Amino acid sequence: MVEIYAAALINGLLIGGVYALVALGLTLIYGVLHIVNFAHGSLLMVGMFAAWLMAEKLGVHPYAALPVVALGMFALGWLLYRLVIGRVSRGEDRAILLATLGVAVVLDNLFLTLFGGDTRQIESDLTFAVIELGPLLLSVPKVIAFAVSLLLAGALWGFMALTDTGRAIRAVAKEPEGARLMGIRPERIFALAYGIGIGCLGAAACLLLPSFFVSPHVGSVFVLVAFTIVVLGGMGSFPGAVVGGLLIGVTESMGGLWLGESLGPIGISLVFIAVLLFRPTGLFGAAR
């Protein structure tokens, strides 16, 4: 009995690491641009398809493809902000929300048109590999995904804290007009931050693929999870996204264990609603 719980706990933590990476991108975009990026799940789906195509057509393992996919997704995010979201939204809250929804609708259905609705997976030696840890069996791709996700989260934090570009991003997040007076162009930083947020998704996609399926609908699976993590941790908070990711990973796997396969997913939605209704600043957020 204890083993089952321990296994569920560890599994939840492992998947939570990747969730944290997905949520980091979302919280970065919120923190800097103050926009709710509803296209986040759909863009993760695009990254997963990119990684899947590289594995299937070119024979490149998703881990080897990670830098390329992350860079490609960064470029896609940057372009998307420059060409669509930044232009269409004119800085209005509702227009931005609907613009990102529009992008999600277009992407989901574009991939449905191109690839059909089937779910796809890659076959690799790693898919079913496990590490034995006492009585527990840990899935190797999940352990790798967890470790690399947290490594990348640390790297992103370092980038934001230590580099000039990171400082410029934080300056724009706090005080766009002040930053403009210091010679920083906020519009450039917005596109850059959006690109970095989406680049995180490219990395997460490659880490997920060996143990997760991909389909044009997979975005909607992740979008609510990512938002739950971000509001739980506090919108815009980096440590919040990491802690929130781990908590939600555990909530999901414990929910599945206690409530069963079909009722289990309710846990995430309930956490989300409860946080929004009773503690909208989240665990690490400053008061609004």
Contacting positions for another protein (CB under 8 A): 36, 38, 84, 87-89, 93-95, 97-99, 101-106, 108-113, 116-117, 216, 220, 224, 227-228, 231, 260, 262-263, 265-266, 269-270, 272-273, 276-278, 280
Contacts of 7 (CB under 8 A, 6+ apart): 136, 137
- Contact status, residue 48 vs residue 205, Cβ threshold 8 Å: yes
For another protein, the closer of residues 38 and 284 by Cβ is 38
Q: Rounded distance, CA 105 to CA 142, Å?
A: 30
Q: Rounded distance, CA 223 to CA 199, Å?
A: 16
For another protein, the closer of residues 189 and 231 by Cβ is 231
Smallest separation, CB 176 to another protein (Å): 19
Q: Which DSSP letter does residue 131 get?
A: E
For another protein, the closer of residues 61 and 217 by Cβ is 217
> From the DSSP assignment, how many helices (H) and strands (E) are in the chain?
12, 2
Residues in the chain: 288
Smallest separation, CB 108 to another protein (Å): 8
DSSP H helices in 163-237: 164-174, 176-181, 186-208, 218-233
Smallest separation, CB 252 to another protein (Å): 12
Q: Rounded distance, CA 182 to CA 171, Å?
A: 10
Smallest separation, CB 73 to another protein (Å): 20
For another protein, the closer of residues 17 and 77 by Cβ is 77
Smallest separation, CB 113 to another protein (Å): 4
For another protein, the closer of residues 3 and 187 by Cβ is 187
Q: Rounded distance, CA 281 to CA 262, Å?
A: 30
For another protein, the closer of residues 26 and 168 by Cβ is 26
133: helix, coil or strand?
Answer: strand
Q: Rounded distance, CA 19 to CA 228, Å?
A: 10
For another protein, the closer of residues 83 and 147 by Cβ is 83
Q: Rounded distance, CA 49 to CA 213, Å?
A: 10
Smallest separation, CB 232 to another protein (Å): 12
Smallest separation, CB 261 to another protein (Å): 9
- Region of 134 on the Ramachandran plot (φ > 0 left; ψ -120 to 50 alpha; else beta): left
